[in-house]
A and B are shown apart, each in its own frame.
Chain A
Amino acid sequence: MRWRQAREWVIEQLIRASGISSIVMVVLIFAFLLKEGLAVFQTVPLGDFLAGQRWYPISEPPRFGILPLLCGSALVTGGAALLSVPLSIASALCISEIAKGWAKEALKTGIELFAAIPSVVLGFIGVTVLAPLIRQAFHLPTGLTALTGSITLAFMAMPTIVSITEDALSAVPRGYREAAVALGATRWQMMTRVLLPAAASGIVAAVMLGVGRVIGETMAVMMLTGNAAVIPHSLLQPVRTLTATIAAEMGETVRGSDHYSALFAIGIVLFAISFSINLVADLFLHRTRAR
């Protein structure tokens, strides 16, 4: 009995320790990004880092301005969101309100499985299939552009947006729908005037989480956007994103060098962006649930 109690005490302590492991991990991630990344600000002031227009990490002297990278990420993400959001919401409406029976199940399972395709595979398909199409369609010297990345990322964001939007739609009480239809609205009017507004905060959360996924996406972006670190003027130009910069350059840096810590500093920026997006999205999600 004594021995059993001792064993249980140990197990319970382990469970409690694991319980707060998530907090420890978040703190650790942030701490290690800071530890490795802060050093760069001894060479480059924070303002120059964020607003500097040149990213020449291996020139002499090196320039660590991430503005072109921020613009690249914003452009690719914006383009992807523009494509993805309407298509996703349309698909979610279709799945939750119009499709019935096996079609509904097939669409849901299909989207779930599509979400499972690794980003490197989508990047590969983008390189071999989409990029040549883009090059021919717009008569460009290269098919590796912001647009190519945006289209691919739009499809990667879709499963997230569709499934969370669908949850939000199905959480709207039946009574709302019935009341609207009973008042003589068509189903389409019911959807636009009752359903979408009622599910609005869930849909906002869905979009934010989808966008969060796009900003953090690395492999497909690195393979598809051409990786030119210049401030872009159109979607048809090659761009370079924050994530791709880290992935492409980390292998060639010397540990502890300014370039190395500059890449970690980019990591801090990404961490901060995803942290705020998820925080806000979570607030919206809880608003849906509370109601």
Chain B
Amino acid sequence: MRTRPAQNTAATPHWRRARAVQRVAFVALGLSTGLVAVTSLVVVGIILARGAGGLSWEFLTAMPAKGMRAGGIFPAIVGTLELVGLTIAFALPMGVASAIYLTEYAADTWVTRLVRLAIVNLSGVPSVVYGLFGLGLFVIFCRFGTSLLAGALTLAIMTLPVIITASEEALRSVPMSFREVSHSLGASRWQTVRHTVLPLAVPGIMTGTILGISRAAGETAPILFTVAAFYLPRLPQSVFDQAMVLPYHLYVISTQIPNIPQTQRYGTALVLVLLVLALNLSAVVLRARFRRRRQW
């Protein structure tokens, strides 16, 4: 191909064969992509179709009853929301501060390289290992016991790399010239960050945080030994209390207890998926709106 002159390629058998190969290859590529897309749609479709029947006002707002075979999943929904809220409260300030350090304060030294390496590795640590860590540090060493607090701290550390990476990107997208202008007006480094850089980076930071949080909301392994209550038909009283949470509840009712009606299982799966997808969609919308509105 490389050595052949170009002008007489159109008609040669070689060229025609290459076209045929290309057609076959493209069909194969399309089929593979179609397989992936269709499977994803089928999975979502099954959850929607079978879960919708299980959804009702009572299902969302009632306590579980009859060994979780009847009643609702109210405490699991509340537990998940509380856990997620606490996780944001821990992870967001720390993640944003860490990103500010990387973009605004740190020069490119061995320290920053080590920080980046640490972030890469944190994002790769298996979720069940976070569970072990949370058990060792927060539940046992810090004596928080199996509690919302221990679980939220564990999830916060797991979410940290996502928030740091997204915030860093958002901060770096603020043009250098704005920082210069701010400095030229007598602002200190922190004032520049606080009044100029951070406000402009907020949408990007929010997007990243929501994505990180939606992942945390669906995780089960890190909360197995740190928060999750098998069956607790009441709301958590404080951050030192155990709680039921949706992902663990789904695990329990789909594998640990026999004879649970399918509507309960699919209903729980649907609520969890809707929660996570709602978070993700809001991040997508936020990102799109921000891109359109951007003034610079």
Contact = CB atoms under 8 A, between A and B. Distances in A.
Do A and B have CB atoms closer than 8 angstroms in the complex?
Answer: yes
A271 B129 contact: yes
A100 interface: no
A186 B18 contact: yes
A170 interface: no
A186 B19 contact: yes
Contact of B124 (A99, A155, A216, A255): A216
A201 B287 CA distance: 29
Interface stretch (B55-63, B68-76, B157-165, B169-177): B157-165
A247 to B, nearest CB: 5
B185 interface: no
B6 interface: yes
Contacts of A109: 284
B136 A250 contact: no
Interface of B: 1-2, 4, 6, 9, 15, 18-19, 21-22, 25-26, 28-30, 32-33, 35-37, 39-41, 43-44, 46-47, 93-94, 97-98, 100-102, 105-106, 111, 114-115, 117-133, 135-137, 140-141, 157, 160-161, 164, 188-191, 214-215, 217-221, 224-225, 247-248, 250-251, 254-255, 262, 265, 269, 272-273, 276-277, 279-281, 284
Closest 7 CB pairs between A and B? A118-B218, A216-B126, A19-B101, A18-B97, A90-B32, A188-B22, A278-B124
Interface string A92-126: 01110011000000010111111011111111110
Contact of B40 (A110, A188, A267): A110
Contact of B251 (A125, A182, A219): A219
A169 interface: no
A152 B252 CA distance: 19
Contacts of A216: 124-129
A251 interface: yes
18 contacts: A18-B100, A19-B100, A21-B160, A22-B119, A23-B115, A32-B137, A113-B277, A118-B219, A119-B219, A121-B273, A155-B36, A155-B43, A162-B36, A183-B6, A185-B18, A218-B220, A247-B224, A255-B140
Contacts of A219: 220-221, 247, 251
Interface string A192-228: 0000000000000000010010011111000100000
A218 B254 contact: no
Contacts of B119: 22
Nearest to B126: A216
A187 interface: yes
A127 B250 CA distance: 12
A197 B35 CA distance: 25
Name the residue in B19, B125, B161 with the highest tally of chain A Cβ atoms < 10 Å from its Cβ: B125
A19 B103 CA distance: 10
Contacts of B115: 19-20, 22-23
A116 B272 CA distance: 11
B31 to A, nearest CB: 8
Interface in A74-91: 86-88, 90-91
Given A87-B35, A107-B37, 9 more contacts: A11-B190, A15-B97, A87-B36, A94-B33, A107-B33, A118-B247, A184-B6, A250-B225, A267-B132
Contact of A21 (B26, B94, B214): B94
A15 B47 contact: no
Nearest to B2: A183
A50 interface: no
A58 interface: no
B137 A28 contact: yes
Contacts of A274: 121, 124-126, 129
B133 A8 contact: no
A22 B118 contact: yes
Nearest to A214: B126
Nearest to B270: A121
Contacts of A278: 120-121, 123-124
